[in-house]
Structure 1
Amino acid sequence: MLTPDEIRSEFNTEPLDLFWKFIHKRQNVWHRRVIENKSPPWTDDQILQNNRFTNIYRQLDPGTQYAIQNILERDASREDKIFNIMMYRLIGRLETHEDIGFQPIADFDKEEFEDSLKHRRDVENETVFTGAYMVAGYNQMGSSDKVENIAVLFNQIASNQSFFSELLSTESAEQAYKKIRSQQGFGNFLSYQVLVDLLYPVDCYNGQSVLPFSPDDWSSPGPGAQKGIKRLIKESTQVDDLRIMNWLRENQQAEFDRLGLEFPYLSDESGSQIELSLADIQNCLCEFYKYDKILNSEGRARRRFRNSEGRSTEELRSIYEAAPRISLDVE
């Protein structure tokens, strides 16, 4: 078993420093925008000014807050919450889930679900699915129409009661991930996103989560995170990705201190500091890869940042003010 110092020696110093500096700058953008209510630009970093990067804390993503506030905090069974989180994450657009409404398993109607999605797409001319990531595994379900295949997929999931009981009986986060992954249409990336949602503490369970695990228990690095890790470590390393991510999770404060960076951590309702979770670190590695790729002229981001197209600061504050277990008060 390698010691923390031995794992530390597997990192390349300059990329590691850049990783923490990127995280620090990106969180400061959020802090200056939302907490300090400053006008743009919120950073002098041209890459951050011109390209869109997700929040350092996954729970600050408005889409994640939608999942927490409108699905996980809902007065419904754990099975119904799992079903809706899976549906919401596969569809990928909160506006679509908001439009079709929360779907209790017992009342799920395949034809009604399909008609609702087609009406949104064909009559309202609204985008139904996300374009942020690729979703596959349902394209052999009998139709060339994505909406029809998705309806078949969720009808199968709703009819598989053993899936929900087995998922709720899993004994580890990794085991739960594999159970979600066993469902058609849910690949590595999507299954992990569903898992992390189900691990958020919620008020309706007195601070417990739908599944009895923590976002710090285990992680499955997606393709972007794996590429981010490769930029941080030596080519000769034999340390696996999960141990690298755990080291970053456990040493974040020491690393910020080493670099003289005052990181604007979130606080909970009691004023206690909320450190970046293992799930947050996984996400940061993916975003760091995008940042470093642009910095080294190896490519560009898929999405440019345009403040006029996003939510206003007032909208963001209203989302966060309603967020359970996050405080916007800064002493």
Structure 2
Amino acid sequence: MGNLKRKSTGGDARSRGTKRSRLHSDGAPIPPLDVVVRGKSFEPTPAFDTFWKLAAERHAIEERRRSGQPPPWTKDPVLQNHKFCNTFRILDRGSQYLVTEVIEKGPQDLEEVTFRVLLFSLYTNISTYETLRKKIRPFTWSEYRRENYEKVLRGLYARGVAIYTGAYQKPAPDLGFAEAFMNHLALMEVLMQEMPDVLSKAEYMADVFEWLQTFKSMGDFTAYQLLLNLSYSNVMSFSDHDFVVMCVGSRRGLRRCFKQDIPRSMEVDLVRWIQSSQDDHFARLRLNFNGLGDQHRPMMLCDIEHTLCELDKYIRKCGQSSKGRPFVGTGELGEIRLPKAWSDKARQIVRIKNEEEAEPDIIEKFVVQSIEAHRVVDGMMEFLVFWEGYDPDEATWEPKDSLMEDAPTMVKAYLKTIT
């Protein structure tokens, strides 16, 4: 891993003007740290401290909402006007629903839990899952008949009801159907042929991830999100510290945190260092961070990874001149439900398959491969960008102003196709 050394303050960061954010400024002092991981030194940027401030403030917003305080739940204008995911992934609405309604409701044997988690994860739409569960009896893998699920899904499709959530891009494999939702249903059937056995025999969380990657359309992002969903159940008993996968957004967030180029092979080491040293940074910045639940659990590897992704989005929002719509919570928040499977003592044993990444020491470059769609969010045009060298499921929505700096020719060419 690494160690944390104190060094003199100062820094040569140049101010680029006052930000609207209370949490981030390019002109802020360089954090007084030197990070050493695997013998290589990394010097933090002001964005490194922003990461911790964002993590603490976003979690404080969640706590204020749950305590019954009225909005606004923060004084930060960026967090007031834009939606950001929770610091803890398990607190997101979809994850809470997954635990309470998908995992804990129904037969608890390995095959049945795996089936329900798979079905929910392929569409990640609460309404779709609830419709299937209501219309189909018995709602079990042991009594599964494709025609029953196809009938319900085609009925939703015919009425123009959204089957998928807009949260992720999920390319469907070509398994003989014209519709993506049917190809995903067929993929679920293929996965179920082996997945229960794979889960029961896996020595490492990485083993399950590598097996998932052998299937069409299962890119890094989709496979990792499914793996995390499964980890909330009793079908796996791995530590939260075993395994993490970096996506496009978290890679960019990590690069914002340090001055030096970061080889792909050292990304996970840095994330592990961030996770293990989090108490030091919250204390150094005098941030009140209560952790998760009554046991005050720290941020896990997956929380660090997706908060890095939120950091990249947050800093980009800081640079936008237009104001978005005030963030409004989606109703009252219920009692926090943590997975029962987390109490398994086997999860206290850390099992890391590869202590060091087996990838070459390359510096990641983010090159636009194509622009495939557009939308308007908070009055700002965004484009769906596919990246060179990345799987289709890692496509991301990028704001027009950022893309005009990085790939103006491709933006202009795309705009011509829609005018």
TM-score by length of 1: 0.83
Q: How does 1:169-184 map to 2 (within 5 A)?
A: 169-184=201-216
Question: 8 Å contact 1:167–1:179 — kept in the other structure?
Answer: no
Q: 1:197 aligns with which of 222, 226, 229?
A: 229
In the aligned structure 1, how far is the partner of 2:46 from the partner of 2:299?
21
Identity %: 26
Q: 1:311 aligns with which of 321, 330, 350?
A: 330
In the aligned structure 2, how far is the partner of 1:191 from the partner of 1:288?
22
Q: How does 1:149-164 map to 2 (within 5 A)?
A: 149-158=183-192, 160=193, 162-164=194-196
2:94 is equivalent to residue 63 of structure 1: yes
What is the letter of the counterpart of residue 112 of structure 1?
A: N
For residues 151-182 of structure 1, give each alpha carbon's deviation from its aligned partner in whole angstroms, at most 9, with x where no partner exists.
32223333x2x332023211111111112222
Question: 8 Å contact 1:29–1:43 — kept in the other structure?
Answer: yes
What is the letter of the counterpart of residue 229 of structure 1?
A: L
Higher-Rg structure is 2
In the aligned structure 1, how far is the partner of 2:290 from the partner of 2:3?
29
RMSD: 2.5
2:255 is equivalent to residue 230 of structure 1: yes
Number of aligned residue pairs: 303
Q: Secondary structure at the match of 2:334?
A: helix
Question: 8 Å contact 2:45–2:256 — kept in the other structure?
Answer: no
In the aligned structure 2, how far is the partner of 1:212 from the partner of 1:323?
15
Q: Secondary structure at the match of 1:6?
A: strand
Q: Secondary structure at the match of 1:16?
A: helix
2:169 is equivalent to residue 143 of structure 1: no
The corresponding residue for 1:50 is: 81
Shift in Å, 1:134:
0.8
For residues 196-252 of structure 1, give each alpha carbon's deviation from its aligned partner in whole angstroms, at most 9, with x where no partner exists.
12223x6xxxxxx32120221110111111111111123334461111111111111
In the aligned structure 1, how far is the partner of 2:3 from the partner of 2:241?
19
Shift in Å, 1:324:
5.4
Q: How does 1:182-331 map to 2 (within 5 A)?
A: 182-200=214-232, 209-238=234-263, 240-268=266-294, 272-297=295-320, 306-307=327-328, 310-313=329-332, 316-318=333-335, 320=336, 323=338
What is the letter of the counterpart of residue 41 of structure 1?
A: P
Moved over 6 A (4+): 298-301
The corresponding residue for 1:133 is: 168
Higher-strand-fraction structure: 2
Question: 8 Å contact 2:114–2:230 — kept in the other structure?
Answer: yes
For residues 275-328 of structure 1, give each alpha carbon's deviation from its aligned partner in whole angstroms, at most 9, with x where no partner exists.
111111111111111001111339999xx6541xx4212xx125x2x55569xx
Q: Secondary structure at the match of 1:132?
A: coil
Higher-helix-fraction structure: 1
TM-score by length of 2: 0.67
Question: 8 Å contact 1:181–1:188 — kept in the other structure?
Answer: yes
Q: Which runs of 5+ in 1 are unaligned?
A: 203-208, 327-331
2:147 is equivalent to residue 115 of structure 1: no
Q: Which runs of 5+ in 2 are unaligned?
A: 5-34, 343-419
Shift in Å, 1:6:
1.1
The corresponding residue for 1:205 is: none
2:60 is equivalent to residue 28 of structure 1: yes
Q: Which has the higher contact order (CA 8 A, sep 6+)?
A: 1
Question: 8 Å contact 1:294–1:300 — kept in the other structure?
Answer: no
In the aligned structure 1, how far is the partner of 2:207 from the partner of 2:308?
23
In the aligned structure 2, how far is the partner of 1:305 from the partner of 1:54?
15
Question: 8 Å contact 1:196–1:215 — kept in the other structure?
Answer: no
For residues 72-104 of structure 1, give each alpha carbon's deviation from its aligned partner in whole angstroms, at most 9, with x where no partner exists.
224332122122212211201111111102842
